[in-house]
Structure 1
Amino acid sequence: MRGNTNRSSTRRLRAAVGAAAAACALTAALPGVASAGPTAGADGGGAGVERISVAADGTQGDDNSTGASITPDGRSVVFASSAKNLTADESTGGDKVFVRDRRTGQTGRIGYLTTLQPPVISGDGEHAAYPVQWVNDVRIRQYQVSTGRTISADCSAYSCNQPSLGADGRHIALVIRLKPPLTGQRIEVQDWNTGAKKTVATLDHTQVSRPSMSGDGRYVAYQDAQTKDVLVWDRTTGTASGPIEGPAKDAALVQLSDDGNQVVYVAGADTYVHDLRSGTSRLVPNVRGVAIDPTGRYLLYAPNDTSGPSLVLRDLRTGTDETVSTQPATAGTDAVSSGGRDVVFQSTADDIVPGDTNGKSDVFVRRLY
């Protein structure tokens, strides 16, 4: 940890506020999953590391677990795993999608996954979305945790992938690859309730565009990987602005914050956090941005210098850093809960928590205060 002068009192205050918010959260139980005792780390049990890719009784997964996202309140984590022992009724191999409720200790399987992208979870923990193979194409399945209801996004043009969910799961941003003889892709926002669709952008190539949607579904950040630009679409105007990095840089999108105000992108060896309100960008040099918390204050990054920690969380307001993992570890977008309290990551290291003997990649959450 570097530069944490006068930080402990701030951490204690935020911990009290976060615990109060978690106590008031309304979350429905996963259907068909045996309940386990509460997990201390999810309800203000203090700083530490918790392994997420475990069964309700704490049994470690018997195969690799990866690709996790966490809700803003830190309660629910969705992840992919090919383990066969995380739920009592599971016996098949292959990649599957699981949701872990850190407060109750429940782990539930919600579907099967292709290897294209990891699953994502809505801000309220009520919906998860993930790509599934369907005959000769790929579709996006959206799952409602409390009811088990599923729908498939409308991908009639061909295949769809790269989902991003809003706070309540009503809106989903995704990429649709056009059907031959047409080429290219279309980025869309679809409405779970009405089925309405809005086109964000149409690109004449199929390089990764990484749509990232704000919590209210108003803004979608995306990249044009061919021109190496990052742009932001506004649903109220139906137009996109950008490139936000300006004409002098080649940029790759990392993530849009949940409030829709901060866009993280990488240019060369550096990371930038762009404020859409002021139009200014903050430089975080010699690091690769990984994720930003929903408020836009905390940046998770991987240092380019591999001799130190593998993942670090920076408070952009104070400039202070906290180490998330000193062992080799990786994370994806939506990896940080609100206020930088929790960070979800994956690692094959066997000494992050006691009793890690499976020799596989596991999913962990580090609670920082």
Structure 2
Amino acid sequence: MSLLVSSIDVPAPRRRRSKRTRRAALATTLVLICALLAACDGHGVISIDDGIPGAQADGNSSNSALDRTGERIAFESSATNLVANDTNSASDIFVTDRTTGETERVSVASDGQQANGPSELPDISANGRIVAFESTATNLVPNDTNGVRDVFVRDLDTGTTVRASVADGGGQGTGDSEGAAISANGRYVAFYSNASNLVANDTNHAADIFVRDLVNGTTERVSVANDESQADSTSVTPTISDDGQVVAFTSSASNLVPGDVNLSTDVFVRDIAAGTTISVTSVPLGQYSATADPNISGNGRYVAFVSDGDNIVPNDTNNSSDVFVFDRDTGTTTRVSVASDGTEGNAGGFDAHLSSNGRYVSFSSWSDNLAPNDANGPYGADVFVRDNVTGQTSRVSESSSGMSGNADSHESDISRDGHVVAFSSDATNLVSGDENGFADIYYKLLP
């Protein structure tokens, strides 16, 4: 699902990524921009060929997700040459270990059988062992007969695949489930679903946010008010803290918190242990301000989100969507899609992701004034990283010589330790030898 900066409307419950969007026809080879790595060549750039040796990926790839240190990268691809015997003619989920260079297909059944339908939108645990994803395949687990999209979890160590979008007793959902986000230890999986039978008394006829405890085998609805009232409208795009106890999500519901009268989408945070739900935005009565696409820091303190409102922070005059970070401890909101000197972007920002401690945030923007030498204009999206401690904003999606990409870069993710950023790009000039005619996935090592 896509949630681009030009529209903050809640997307129809079908495609999402908070954890990570904008996947229009992206094909991938994994490329390392290791500008700060001594092992790199003189220009600091190494290309990693992720298909059959000597061949670049022959199909669309997108939506990368990083483990704690960025050593393992999960992504989706319709390429057929990333692993042997990929003959299902559908997109699959893969994990590449950038240290060993090995790539493994994740979207398979426990017996190794390949999926008979497309699999998309992965998320990965901190240690890179557990991968959650969504799929329409019916053969990844036994007795999958509901005919809808489900959320699955693959344990790379044990080679087992289980379905997460089920009720407490294991009953399969009656509606599509998607947008999986996994806790650091791989125990909890958040997702949104149109199913009405995952918990009791689900009668709102709208997509809700759920959290599955894979250890205890329980499923809980978290898109509820403090008094456990169910949302009166759609909730999507969940993101989960490292411990699995705090979930942020987008909702158009008006009854999750008192006084929600802005008639637009909002970002909410549910503290499962405390049983509380809050909104991360508060604007004057009668004013409009749509917010969406959250990403929560691993420690659960910070929530990054996108808003097209000019009333979130003072002096917002760019008439564009921006990226903000909300501090749950202090109740303050900061705009982060700005230059190092505080200059606001001259075009929209979107797709934000936080490091575990909330210090670093990666995001995409069409602005050409956030970093020096941005020569692709206000219509070419770039990926940036903002250091919330030093206030420095730097561009990530550039060649080793500092050249701007000649096409859009987006769909960023940042490792939990804040030292690796991955992103997708249609550019052909970020590394030499990019000749597959598709967009690629890149990653860059940060100090």
Q: TM-score, normalised by structure 1?
A: 0.80
Unaligned runs of 5+ in 2: 1-31, 108-114, 139-145, 167-171, 198-202, 224-229, 254-263, 309-320, 337-343, 369-376, 398-403
Q: For residues 302 and 332 of structure 1, do their structure 2 counterparts lie closer, same or farther at Cα, with a shift above 3 Å needed?
A: closer
The residue type equivalent to 2:252 in the other structure is: A
Q: For residues 168 and 51 of structure 1, do their structure 2 counterparts lie closer, same or farther at Cα, with a shift above 3 Å needed?
A: farther
Query: Which of 70, 75, 99 is the matching residue for 1:74?
Result: 70
Give the 3-state SS of the residue equivalent to 1:203 in structure 2.
coil
1:350 aligns with 2:350: no
Query: Which of 355, 368, 375 is the matching residue for 1:293?
Result: 355
User: Counterpart in 2 of 1:137?
Assistant: 148
Tell me, in whole angstroms, the C-alpha distance in 1 between the residues paired with 2:333 and 2:391.
15
Tell me, in whole angstroms, the C-alpha distance in 2 between the residues paired with 1:228 and 1:119.
25
The residue type equivalent to 2:435 in the other structure is: T
The residue type equivalent to 1:224 in the other structure is: S
Q: For residues 182 and 339 of structure 1, do their structure 2 counterparts lie closer, same or farther at Cα, with a shift above 3 Å needed?
A: closer
Which one has a larger percent helix, Structure 1 or Structure 2?
Answer: 1
What is the correspondence of 1:85-124 to structure 2 with a 5 Å cutoff?
Answer: 85-111=81-107, 112=115, 118-124=121-127
Query: Shift of the alpha carbon at 1:115?
Result: 6.6
Query: Shift of the alpha carbon at 1:190?
Result: 0.8
Indicate conservation of the 8 Å contact 2:248/2:267, yes or no: yes
User: Counterpart in 1 of 2:275?
Assistant: 238
Q: For residues 52 and 279 of structure 1, do their structure 2 counterparts lie closer, same or farther at Cα, with a shift above 3 Å needed?
A: farther
User: Counterpart in 2 of 1:156?
Assistant: 173
1:216 aligns with 2:243: yes
Q: TM-score, normalised by structure 2?
A: 0.67
User: Counterpart in 2 of 1:310?
Assistant: 382
Q: String of CA shifts for 1:34-59, please: whole Å, max 9, x gaps.
A: xxxxx996995567555567137463
Q: String of CA shifts for 1:138-193, please: whole Å, max 9, x gaps.
A: 11111011121010011424221111100011000111213499611221111111
Query: Shift of the alpha carbon at 1:137?
Result: 0.9
1:255 aligns with 2:295: yes
Query: Shift of the alpha carbon at 1:82?
Result: 0.7
Query: Which of 323, 329, 332 is the matching residue for 2:395?
Result: 323
Indicate conservation of the 8 Å contact 1:96/1:113, yes or no: no
The Cα RMSD (Å) is: 2.8
1:205 aligns with 2:205: no
Taking only the aligned residue pairs, the percentage that are identical comes to: 27
Query: Which of 247, 265, 279 is the matching residue for 2:331?
Result: 279
Residue correspondences, number: 328
Tell me, in whole angstroms, the C-alpha distance in 2 between the residues paired with 1:56 and 1:147.
25
Tell me, in whole angstroms, the C-alpha distance in 1 between the residues paired with 2:385 and 2:118.
28
Give the 3-state SS of the residue equivalent to 1:137 in structure 2.
coil
Consecutive aligned runs of 4 or more in structure 1 exceeding 4 Å deviation: 39-53, 112-117, 179-182
Q: For residues 43 and 114 of structure 1, do their structure 2 counterparts lie closer, same or farther at Cα, with a shift above 3 Å needed?
A: farther
Higher mean alpha-carbon deviation, 107-116 vs 208-217, is at: 107-116
